[in-house]
Structure 1
Amino acid sequence: MAGTSLLALIDDIASILDDVAAMSKVAAKKTAGVLGDDLALNAQQVSGVNADRELPVVWAVAKGSMINKAILVPLALLISAFIPWAITPLLMIGGAYLCYEGFEKIAHKYLHSEDPHAERDAELAAAKTDADIVKIEKQKIKGAIRTDFILSAEIIVISLGIVAGAPFVNQITVMVLIAVAMTVGVYGLVAGIVKIDDAGLYLSSLEGRGGFRHALRGLGGFLLGMAPWLMKALSFLGTIAMFLVGGSILTHGLPWAHSLIDTMTHGHNGFVNTLITGASDLVVGIVTGAIVLAVVTLASKMFGKK
C-alpha cells in the first residue's frame, strides 16, 4: 500500500509539473511581447552612466524589479482568489495601456523633436563631483524602477490571465517562475547590451599580429557598429510587439471582435491563419492606442498633466 501511495504521489507531482511547464510556456509566449520594449527602455534608462558604473546601476534596477514583482505577484494571486471577475477587466486595461504606450512612442517620435533623455544625460555629463554623479544615478535608478513597475504589472496580469483557472499551487508556481525568469532574463540581457560597446572597444584595440588577433579586432569593430543599431531594432520590434500583444488581449476580451477574426480565418490554416490574426491584432492595437492617446491628451489639457 505504501508503495502504491508513493507512486500515486509521484504521478500527481509529475502531472502538476507538466501543467506548470505548459502554463509557463504559454505565459512566457504571451508576455514576450513586453520584453522587447522592456529591454530597450531599461537599456536607455542606464545610458550615459560612466562605464564602470553601468553594471552596478543595472544590478540596482534588477533588485528593484524583484521587489516590484514581490509586491505584484501576491496582489495578483489575491485578486485571482477573491475577485476573479476582475481579471478580464485588468487584462483589457493592460492591453489598452500597451497599445497606448506603443502609439505614444510613435507620436512622440514624429510630433516632438526633443529627446526625452537628453536633459538628464546632459546633467550627468555636466556633473563635477562624486556627490552629483551619485545623486543623478539614484534618479536614473528610481526612474527605471518606476518604469519596470508598469511593465512588470503588465507581465503579471497577462500571466494571471493564463493561470486563472488552474489550482492555486500551480498559479503560485507559474507566477513565481515567470517573475524570476523575466527579471533574470531582461536584466541579464540589459547588462550585456550596455556593455556591448565596451566589449567592442576592448576587442578593437587589441594589439598583435596573426589571423586570430585580426579577427578579434574585426569582431570588436562589428560590435561597436552594431550597438546603436541593436538599440533601434529593439525599440522598433518592442513597439510592434506591444501592438500585437495588446491587440490580441483586446480581441480575445471582446466577443464580437474574436468572432469576427474567427470568421476571417475560417477555412484558412497555417501561415495564412497566423498572418490574418496577427494583422487584425496589429490594426486593433494601433487604433486602440490612437484612441487612448487622444483621450489622455484631451484629459491632460482639460485637467492638467497630473
Structure 2
Amino acid sequence: MASGLLALLDDVAALVKVSAASLDDVPAQVAKTTGKVSGIVIDDTAVTPKYVVGLDPSRELSIIFQIAKKSLFNKIIFLSPAALLLGFFAPWAITPILMLGGAYLCFEGYEKVHSMFSQHHGDGTAENVEQMKVITPEELEKERIDGAVRTDLILSSEIVAITYSTVADTPLANQIIVMLAVAVFITVAVYGFVGLIVKADDMGVHMAKDKFHPAVQKFGRGLVKRMPAFLKILAYVGTAAMLWVGAEIVIHGIPFLHHALENLILSLPEVPILQWLVKVLVSALAGIVLGFIIEKIVKVVRKLFKSKKTEAV
C-alpha cells in the first residue's frame, strides 16, 4: 500500500515537472508566434484607422475600444476554442476555412482598389440611389465598427490558426496559455498603436501650443500637417496588405501554388528584403486577380437573386 502511494506521488511529481518545463517555454512560443504573424499584424494595424477617419474626433478612441473589445472577445471566446476543437476533431477543416477567409480579404481588397481607380457617375439607377441614401452619424459609426470587426475576424482567425500550429504538439494547458497570451498581446499592441495613430493630430495640436519649447511647437505643427497624408498612405498600405495576406493564405492552401511561389523565391538572389518584396508583390497581384474573379461571381449571383425576386413579385 505504502509503496503504491509512493509510486503515485512520484508520478504526480514527474507530471508537475513536465508541466512546469513546458510552461517555461510559453514566452519563447509567444515570441515565435508573434514573429510568424507579423504580416497579418501589419495588415490589421494599417487597415483599422480607415474605419475611424471622417467620424467625430471625440468618438475615435471609443470606436477603437469597441473594435478592440470585440476583436479580443472573438479571439478568446470563439476562435481559440474553435481552433482547439478543430485541431482535435477535424484538423483537415482548418485550411479550407482559412482559405475562404483569405478569399474574402482579396474580394474586399479588390473592391477598394477598383473604387480608387474607377470614376463613379450617377446613372439614375436604383442601385446608385441606394448608395447615395443619407444615414445618421450613429448608423455610420455602427457600419464602420461592423466592417472593421468583420475584417478583423478574418485576420484574427489566421493569427489564431498560426498560433495553434505553433503549439499543436505541446500539452493542452500550454496551448491554451500561449493562445490566450498571443490574443491579448496582439490585440493590445495593434489597437494601442491604432489609437496613437488616429489621435496623433490631436497630440500635435497640443504640442504646438505656446507653452512648449519652439522645437516642440514646430514638431507638433509638422505632425498636424503631415497626418492627413500619412493616413492616406496607410489606407493604401492597408489595402495592399489585405490583398497580400489574403492571397498568401489561399496560396498556402493549394500545394502546387505554394511550391511555385517558394521556388520563385528560392530562384532569387539570397537577399532577404528582395525575396520578401517579390513574395509580397506576387501575392498582392494574385490577390487582385482572385478578387476580380470573386467580384464577377458575386455580381452574377446578385443578378440571379434579383431576377428571381422580380419573377416572384
Category of TM-score, reference length = shorter chain:
0.7 to 0.9
Question: Are 2:261 and 1:257 equivalent residues in the alignment?
Answer: no
1:111-122 correspondence to structure 2 within 5 Å = 111=118, 113=120
Aligned residue identity for 2:297: V
Give the structure-2-normalised TM-score: 0.75
% identical equivalent positions: 32
Which aligned runs of 4 or more in structure 1 are off by greater than 6 angstroms?
Answer: 1-8, 118-122
Aligned residue identity for 2:222: F
Aligned residue identity for 2:270: N
Give the structure-1-normalised TM-score: 0.77
1:8-19 correspondence to structure 2 within 5 Å = 9=16, 12-18=19-25
Local SS of the residue matching 2:213: helix
1:1-306 correspondence to structure 2 within 5 Å = 9=16, 12-18=19-25, 20-69=26-75, 70-111=77-118, 113=120, 123-124=136-137, 136=138, 140-141=141-142, 143-164=144-165, 165-167=168-170, 168-204=172-208, 206-207=209-210, 213-266=213-266, 268-271=269-272, 272-304=274-306
How many residues of Structure 1 are paired with residues of Structure 2 in the alignment?
A: 286
Aligned residue identity for 1:160: A
Residues 259 and 157 of structure 1, relative CA distance in 2, 3 Å threshold: closer
**1: CA distance, partners of 2:39 / 2:263:** 25
Deviation at 1:49? 4.4
The C-alpha deviation readout for 1:239-288, integer Å capped at 9, x for no partner, is 22222222222222211112223433445533354444344323322222
**1: CA distance, partners of 2:262 / 2:198:** 43
Local SS of the residue matching 1:166: coil
The answer (yes or no) to whether the contact 1:99–1:289 under 8 Å persists in 2 is yes
Deviation at 1:224? 0.5
Gaps spanning 5+ residues in structure 1: where? 125-135
**2: CA distance, partners of 1:91 / 1:64:** 20
The answer (yes or no) to whether the contact 2:34–2:182 under 8 Å persists in 1 is yes
**2: CA distance, partners of 1:278 / 1:43:** 22
Aligned residue identity for 1:257: L
Deviation at 1:234? 1.6
The answer (yes or no) to whether the contact 1:40–1:231 under 8 Å persists in 2 is no
**1: CA distance, partners of 2:260 / 2:57:** 52
Deviation at 1:109? 1.9
The answer (yes or no) to whether the contact 1:38–1:186 under 8 Å persists in 2 is yes
Gaps spanning 5+ residues in structure 2: where? 1-5, 122-130
**2: CA distance, partners of 1:295 / 1:275:** 30
Residues 280 and 41 of structure 1, relative CA distance in 2, 3 Å threshold: closer
**1: CA distance, partners of 2:300 / 2:277:** 35
> Aligned-pair RMSD on alpha carbons?
3.5
Deviation at 1:87? 0.6
**1: CA distance, partners of 2:281 / 2:156:** 22
